[in-house]
Amino acid sequence: MIKKYLILIALAVVTIFGAATHTALAHSNVTQTNATPSATQSIWCGLWSGVNLDFSGRNCGNPAQPQTTQTTPTPVRQTPTPTPTTPNSTMPIYAALGDSVAAGLGLPAQANAEPGTTFCGRSSQSYVYQVAAATDMTLRHGACSGATVGDLFTKQGVNGPNITAQLDYAYAAGTPSLITITAGANDAHWDEFIRGCYASQCANGVTTSLANGYLVALQAKLYAAFTSIQIRSNGAPPPVIVTGYYNPLSTACTQYQSNITADEIAWLAAETAALSQTIKDVSSKYSFVTFVPVDFTGHDICSGSSWIQGLADKAPFHPTAAGQQAIARSVLSSIGK
């Protein structure tokens, strides 16, 4: 218990530091641009940056309309995707939160449950639609590409923090009956490490220390998110299902991809396992939270039956439709469906 409060205090200090840092940054840039952020925007920028340990200032500019590139995906022979749930006020609410994995980035049939979030990369082939259909609940889909655990309770930064905090959106229609969360990979800079391993040597002490530092910060944000759910639910939180992450590579990749080594693949596997273990450890501290592992063994990006989008696909390292179905099966199994 003491450890948890110390972590939360540390998170608060970092958040306040971020707010102060970026408010000062906004004022220092007044003479360098014709359009400076408002005071409110600067404060929100600081909060987002503090929570997510990002003091680069790249999210402190004026909100710009995000640009998306639409491409025609290659047809995939998969099990038909369930029809998205039609909102019904008499049905219980299922809130689906998280990052690009939960959104279904890279898959066709884009879906945008929340107005003004066309850039979130949501697809009706995401596992969340399958969970909604199997549980017969009204879906409130708040997952968005690029989201961190911090974005569950702060506004998400996209050229300025301008997306509603996911938990605010989830609870806008009342306390949900079920919540699923897939988040943490962006906090751990998981995608950046994978791409870095392809670009240069990554399995070393520096990258390991950096990765471990991100995981310590992730713990604090997970405590804050789960505690927020507890408070928002007036002490009677709904079941919360939190997924882990799959290992996208295997030793088979060394046979097909000469720019990554067996040592780097082993390092990435260890860091992916550490990411999932961090999420599992914090989840275990809350009786209403269930951690669900996601295992793509035998279906990695270099296998003959991959559940992961390849390097030439729209969203490399993200699940295919088959991968989303596998995640849905794991989630539904955890709730007896």
Q: In the prediction, which pLDDT does 140 show?
A: 94
Q: What is the mean pLDDT of the chain?
A: 78
Quick one: pLDDT at residue 127?
Answer: 98
- What letter represents residue 131's amino acid? V
* pLDDT above 60 (res 135): yes
Q: Residues 6 or more apart from 56 whose CB is under 8 A from it?
A: 49
Quick one: average pLDDT of 145-163? 81
Which residue, among 250, 254, 257, has the nearest Cα to 311 in the 3D structure? Answer: 257
Confidence of residue 223 (pLDDT cuts 50, 70, 90): very high
CA nearest to 108, candidates 80, 77, 132, 75: 75
Contact 35, 15 (CB under 8 A): no
Residue 198 pLDDT exceeds 70: yes
pLDDT at 153: 93
For 55, which DSSP code?
-
Indicate if the pLDDT at residue 259 is higher than 50.
Answer: yes
Percent of the chain with pLDDT over 90: 54
